[in-house]
Amino acid sequence: MEKKVRLISAIIVPAVLFVLFTTTYQNYLPQRNVMQLLDNYKSLHYDSENVAIRLSTDSSVETVLLNKVLPNMNYKILESHVDGDTAIVSLQISNINLDHLLNDYQASLVKQTLKPVQDQNLQSTAQIDDFEISLLVNLIDDPSIKKEYVSQDIELTLHKQDGIWVLEDNEAFFKAVMGYQSDEITFEHLLREVQ
């Protein structure tokens, strides 16, 4: 009788552990893909063939901004849920608040100009160009300016394709990674390519 109990437990215990490990590991895989992507961005490997959502630009100004902003990004995985071939990963991303820097820049620009603020170029709906992006880079580099950080909670969707979890690109994710929320900042030359 004792041999039967040992035999049964020798079969059941590893089987249960295997099922638990497999289920837990499957839930971890989407998180791992998101973590790899964000770690690649932080280490400035955003233009690599191995990155889930590749960022590439032919603008040297945009490249400099990416290189200044991405290393400052921090993230925390909050949770993930897997339902068949779809996974949702909830995370919090923090970075330098580019909207705040841009507003400070615009406020100082208004103070420096002699003309009235009727100039429509300073409206919040205007998009900034490469020259203004280079000014934003200078603001990031300026040690006398206190940098505020913004944190955003977002959800990323992943779909399993041929056994691989593939991230779904979205604008909210990119804005969170770059540290802005407004539509004022645009990257005219930047391509986001899902690999």
**pLDDT tens per residue, range 92-108:** 999 999 988 888 766 66
User: How many CB atoms within 10 Å of residue 134?
Assistant: 15
* pLDDT higher than threshold 80 for residue 8: no
Evaluate whether 94 touches 154 at the Cβ level (below 8 Å).
no
* pLDDT higher than threshold 50 for residue 122: no
Q: What pLDDT does residue 42 have?
A: 96
Q: 192: which strand partners?
A: 55
- Tell me the C-alpha distance between 139 and 117, whole Å: 22
Q: What pLDDT does residue 131 have?
A: 75
* pLDDT higher than threshold 50 for residue 26: no
| Domain total in the chain | 1
Local structure of 45: helix, strand or coil: coil
* pLDDT higher than threshold 90 for residue 192: no
Q: What pLDDT does residue 23 have?
A: 45
Q: 70: which strand partners?
A: none
Range of the domain at 187: 2-194
Which residue's entry shows tokens 């990031």? 140
pLDDT tens-place string over residues 45-67: 999 888 889 999 988 889 999 99
More confident: 131 or 81: 81
More confident: 115 or 84: 84
pTM value? 0.74
Residue 80 burial (C-beta neighbours within 10 Å; 0-12, 13-18, 19+): buried
Average pLDDT, the chain: 81
Residue 61 burial (C-beta neighbours within 10 Å; 0-12, 13-18, 19+): buried
Evaluate whether 88 touches 78 at the Cβ level (below 8 Å).
no
Tell me the pLDDT band of 118, cut-offs 50, 70 and 90. Answer: very low
* pLDDT higher than threshold 70 for residue 28: no
Q: What pLDDT does residue 107 have?
A: 64
